[in-house]
Each structure stands twice: as structure tokens, then as C-alpha cells.
């Protein structure tokens, strides 16, 4: 019922320019998951947030705004997509270029390309190696195979106590096979240093079983420490 009742009637975050009124950047996030992730940013205080699937850039702006609130002037969001943030419309909402928002310029780095492109992965891994607390949000291609490959590439960048959140697991409901859930299950079978933290799921979540918390350092993996207190 919730999905059918238009759960995102105002799917926007921040103004994407200095126009009056400011034109928003659609965030395309379930509000319950949005607040759950914002709470994690507040609690963990990550130095680096890695997001795959930029779309219009509203989510990246949202995570940047939480960095501004929790650690003003510190932290970085790296967001990755095969397309640059759209400048015309998203979800039927007229927008302007989100990259012109001052908060984007201060906190966000956009990488154009596939999240599995070796060039992109090299840049992301270099940034993660220099960060003390890393949070990962995977929201690009939601097919089973891609989710598994993306989890294998990005979840190991997460620091102990932080999360690799695989989004839109609800899509597995629409098919007997495929979608994010089987990809997550295969990843967890091979990575015992992660668990699905169901306590982090809000009242209504589109990421059921997707809040993966890192509990320990895997063999051969260097990890600089747990989340801040």
C-alpha cells in the first residue's frame, strides 16, 4: 500500500541554485531510509561517503548536508555514475544543475564512469585508504550479478563498525530470481566480516537486508579502525 500511495510526494533536497525559490535536486529516497542513513552519518561521522548511482545528485547533496551539520568543513562524498547529474528533470521535477550548489562544490566529488571501471575503482580505493571512517551506499544497477560484483568491490572499503548499504532490495520482490537479495546473500556467504543489521532498518524500508555492518577485519585486509564514538 505504501508504494502505491506515492511515498515521495516531495522528493527533493536543498536548492540546486541561488534562484528564488531555489530549484531543488530530487533525492529519490524513501524518507524512512533517508533518515536512517542520516542517523548513521551523524553517529559514525565518516571521513568518506562513497555512493554509486548519482542520478540527479540530490542524494549526494543530502549526505553533504549531514557532513556540514556533523563535521563542518570536513569529510567528502564521492558519487559515481555513467551519466553526469541531469540538468533538466528527474521524477517529473524541473531542476537546475546540482553541481552549482555551494555544498556540492565543497563536499562532493563526481566520478563519471561505471562503478566497476578499474580507473574509477582505483581512485575510490586511494581515497578510502586515506580515510579513517568510510561509509558505502550502493544504488546503481540493481541486477543480481552487478550487485554482487559491486559489493565485492566496495564493501571491503568500509571500516569496522561502519556500513555498506545495498539499496532497493525491494526490487527482488518483483522477480522469482535475480535482483539485489541473491547478490547480497552470495556476498555474505563469502564475507563473514559483514552481517545484515536488521536493527538499522526503519519502520518502512526499501533496503530490507541491505544494511550490512562490518564487524571485523577480514584476513589480509588492512583497516584503520572503528567508527568514532
Taking the chain (229 residues) in consecutive chunks of 10 residues, what is each chunk's mean pLDDT? 44 43 54 93 97 90 93 95 74 68 94 97 98 97 92 98 94 72 94 96 89 84 47
Q: Three cell numbers at 75?
A: 569529510
Single out the residue of 39, 36, 44 nearest to residue 229, CA to CA.
44
Global pTM reads 0.84
What secondary structure does DSSP assign to 55-109, as a single string? Answer: TTSHHHHHHHHHHHHHSTT--EEEEEESSPPPSSEETTEE---GGGSHHHHHHEE
CATH code of the domain occupying 3-214: 3.40.50.150
Beta bridge partners of 170: none
Taking the domains of the chain in order of start, what are their residue ranges? 3-214
Question: Measured between alpha carbons, how far is residue 119 from residues 74, 105, 124, 149, 165 in Å?
Answer: 25, 22, 9, 16, 23
Single out the residue of 49, 36, 203, 52 nearest to residue 113, CA to CA.
52
User: What was the pLDDT predicted at 38?
Assistant: 94
* Number of neighbours of residue 69 by Cβ within 10 angstroms: 11
Q: Three cell numbers at 1?
A: 500500500
User: What was the pLDDT predicted at 58?
Assistant: 86
Dist CA 150 CA 186 (whole Å) = 12
User: What was the pLDDT predicted at 69?
Assistant: 93
User: What was the pLDDT predicted at 171?
Assistant: 79
Amino acid at each position: 500500500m505504501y508504494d502505491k500511495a506515492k511515498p515521495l510526494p516531495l522528493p527533493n533536497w536543498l536548492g540546486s541554485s541561488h534562484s528564488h525559490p531555489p530549484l531543488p535536486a530530487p533525492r529519490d529516497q524513501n524518507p524512512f531510509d533517508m533518515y536512517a542513513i542520516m542517523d548513521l552519518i551523524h553517529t559514525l561521522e565518516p571521513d568518506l561517503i562513497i555512493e554509486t548511482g548519482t542520478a540527479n545528485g540530490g542524494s549526494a547533496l543530502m549526505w553533504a548536508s549531514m557532513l556540514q551539520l556533523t563535521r563542518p568543513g570536513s569529510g567528502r562524498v564521492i558519487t559515481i555514475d555513467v551519466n553526469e547529474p541531469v540538468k533538466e528533470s528527474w521524477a517529473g521535477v524541473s531542476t537546475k544543475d546540482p553541481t552549482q550548489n555551494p555544498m556540492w562544490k565543497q563536499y562532493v566529488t563526481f566520478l563519471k564512469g561505471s562503478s566497476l571501471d578499474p580507473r574509477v575503482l582505483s581512485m575510490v580505493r586511494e581515497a578510502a585508504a586515506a580515510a579513517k571512517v568510510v561509509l558505502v551506499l550502493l544504488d546503481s544497477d540493481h541486477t543480481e550479478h552487478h550487485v554482487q560484483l559491486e559489493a565485492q568491490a566496495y564493501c571491503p572499503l568500509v571500516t569496522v563498525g561502519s556500513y555498506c548499504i545495498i539499496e532497493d532490495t525491494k526490487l527482488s520482490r518483483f522477480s522469482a530470481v535475480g535482483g539485489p537479495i541473491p547478490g547480497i546473500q552470495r556476498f555474505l556467504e563469502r564475507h563473514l566480516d559483514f552481517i545484515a543489521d536488521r536493527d538499522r532498518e526503519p519502520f518502512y524500508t526499501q533496503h530490507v537486508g541491505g544494511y550490512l555492518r562490518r564487524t571485523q577485519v577480514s584476513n589480509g585486509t588492512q583497516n584503520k579502525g572503528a567508527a568514532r564514538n
